[in-house]
Structures are given as structure tokens and as C-alpha cells.
Amino acid sequence: MSLTIVEAREAVDRLGEFDSVIDARSPGEFAEDFLPDALNWPVLDDGERRLVGTLYKQISALQARKVGAALVAKNVAQHIERHVGDKPREWRPLVYCWRGGQRSGSLAWFLSQIGFRTFQLAGGYKAFRALVREDLEQLPARFDFRVLAGRTGSGKTRLLQALRDQGAQVLDLEALACHRGSVLGGLPDKPQPPQKRFDTLLWQALRALDPARPVFVESESQKVGSVRVPDALILRLREHGHCTVVDMGEDARVTLLLEDYGFFAADPERFCRLIGGLVELRGRETVQRWQRQARAGAWAEVFAEMMREHYDPLYLRSMDKHFLHLAQAPRLVLRDGGNDSLQAAARELLSQA
């Protein structure tokens, strides 16, 4: 039997050496965030965790430990019955909980007693979270970012995908955030990750990049929907990123928006609720006109008006404020959002990288 305590930095550097990463926290904790590829084997579920915590505060630590021990023993036994039967002697799990204490310690001890070479994360998820936050302050400075700027509907996200198809390194912040970055940017049936989960996904994406090669990324606001892009990355993009302005004609932009946001046609009331938040910026009369157009199915008209009267002025003010040399940036004209145009533009960008 073997049980080894491993520090967070060593653990993440050796993640590929572990056959399984096991999160012993409750499902609610796991839903907030977890280590890459972790499996949730809760030693206490959410209700049991609350019960033990209540006993600890209201009765005594001894009573909480008595009840908790029985629950932990039962749950660990169930995990062993369900998940361990097919594991070979050489199986090497890494186990963690919130702070590397009793929950992960109990599960790790049982696994080591069976005979598996088991590792327990010192400091638990809390130590991992601290490492992620530290790395997100340091990692952006390593990269040469090529920033795609351009007005809403100009094909920047599609161009990122075309660049990826041709082998370029891409950091797609909107894909990580599950949001297109505007008041209408929420994806249907795909909620945004919690902030901690977004941070970990971004951390994984940055760690996978090669600092010796350029990284293409879209210009973004500090917030993408409900999640916040770390300050260090935003500053790196704005102060050191090499910008290219992506331009597309209005008719082609409207066509692209109709394709990307066509799902609103099935639920115009959702669209109307979302743009209701623009009353303070654009006035009640304007917003109500857009809502009437949407309910009437005049989607091309409403998107064209919103581009001209809301998105374009807002975007240009933001870009002029945050990207001081944007006026001198090279321009890339996209004929439309079709695959041929995008692939040609991607080749042109890569030839200049």
C-alpha cells in the first residue's frame, strides 16, 4: 500500500501520470469547478455536508464526527463497489477535496489500503484554485497575441475557426465563456460556466499554447456575459496585442447575424426581454420599435438598425478607448461569412504572422 501527499504545482505538472483524478467534494462544490478531467466521487453529498456542518455548529464537533464518519464510510464503500472493481493493481489515482483534509484523506486511505498507489492533493481544491489565479496573472505575458478587431457581425469568431482549421493557435474566449459577448450573446440551451470554471478552462487553454508561435484572439470586453476575463490577459491584449481590423459590408453582416442568431425566430419574446435592458442606453421608443419588428418577424431590419444605432457606436467607442493605435492597424476585408472568404482571409493572416 502507498499514500503520497503531493503539492498543487507538482500535481498539475504531473496530471498526465495519474490514471484518474478523483474529486471527493459534494456535487454542488464540483459543479462550481474541478481539476482537469476529474471524476466526482462525493464522500458527502450536499445534504449530508450541510447536516454535518449544522451538527458541528449547533451541537458539538464530536457528534458531527460520529455522524460524518458513518456517512463517509457508507459512501466510500459505495464508490469502491461501483468504480474500483475493474481497476488493475497499477492504477494510480489522485484524490482531493476542498482543503485536502478528512474527506479526501478518508477516500485516499481506503484506496491505499486496497493496494493502489494513491496520491492526495495537499491543500485540496483551494490550493489548486490559488495556483490557477497565480498562473492567470503570469501566463498572458508569454504570448504574442494577434487581436482580431471589428464590428459586431463582421465574422471575427468564424475567422478564428478558419485559422484553427489551418493550424493556427487560437484562444477563443467566447467559446470558453459559452457567450457571444453582447446583450444577445447567450447561447440557447447552453448556460455559461461559473466564474471559477471559466478561469480553469482559460488556464488550461493558455497552458496548452506554445509561446514560440503567435496566438490569434478576438478583441473582447472585460466581461463576456456574466464571466470576467482576468485583468492580466485584458491588459496584454490591449497594450501589446498586434491588431488587425476585420471589415465586412453591412448586408453581409446582417446575413451573418441572421445565421448566428436565427434561433430567436422561434422565441421572439426572449429577444424582446433581452433588448429591454437597452432602454436606458437607447431610449424606450427605439427599443419598443425593435421589439415590434422582432414580433413581426422583420429580423433583417431589426438587426440592421441595432448594428447602426447600438452595436457599432458602442464598439467603436470602446476600441478607440482601449486600443490606442487601432487607426494604424492593418485592415482585412471579408466579402462575406462564407467558408471560401474565411479560408482565404485565414491564409492571408497566416502569411503575415
The per-residue DSSP string of 230-249 comes to: -HHHHHHHHHH-EEEEEEE-
Which whole-number Å values give the CA distances from 62 to 24, 33, 40, in the listed order? 22, 31, 27
pLDDT value at position 294?
95
pLDDT digits (tens, 9 = 90+) for 305-334: 999 999 998 888 888 788 877 778 999 999
DSSP count for the chain of H helices, then E strands: 17, 12
Listed residue (182, 189, 194) closest to 30, CA to CA: 194
Strands 242-248 and 169-171: unpaired
Report for 136-140, 179-183, 241-245: range of highest mean pLDDT = 136-140
Alpha-helical segments (H) within 80-190: 102-114, 124-138, 156-165, 173-177
Q: pLDDT category, 43, cuts 50, 70, 90? A: very high
Q: Which residues pair with 169 in a beta bridge?
A: 215
What is the chain's mean pLDDT, rounded? 94
pLDDT value at position 89?
93
Residue 228 C-alpha cell reads as 470576467
Backbone angles phi, psi at 111, to 5 degrees: -65, -40
- SS3 state of residue 275: helix
CB 332, CB 244: distance < 8 Å:
yes
Catalytic one among 97, 178, 243, 272? 97
Q: pLDDT category, 1, cuts 50, 70, 90? A: low
Residue with cell 491588431: 243
Q: Is it the case that residue 226 has pLDDT exceeding 70?
A: yes
| Burial state string for 279-295 with b = 16 or more CB within 10 A and e = fewer than 16 | eeebeeebbeebbebbe
- Rounded Cα distance between 12 and 27, Å, is 22
Residue 8 C-alpha cell reads as 498543487
pLDDT digits (tens, 9 = 90+) for 106-130: 999 999 999 999 999 999 999 999 9
pLDDT value at position 56?
85
Is residue 178 flagged as an active site residue?
no
More confident residue, 184 or 291: 291
Which whole-number Å values give the CA distances from 259 to 252, 256, 265, 303, 310, in the listed order? 11, 5, 11, 11, 20
Q: Give how far the C-alpha of residue 128 lies from the chain's centroid of Cα atoms, to the nearest Å.
A: 17
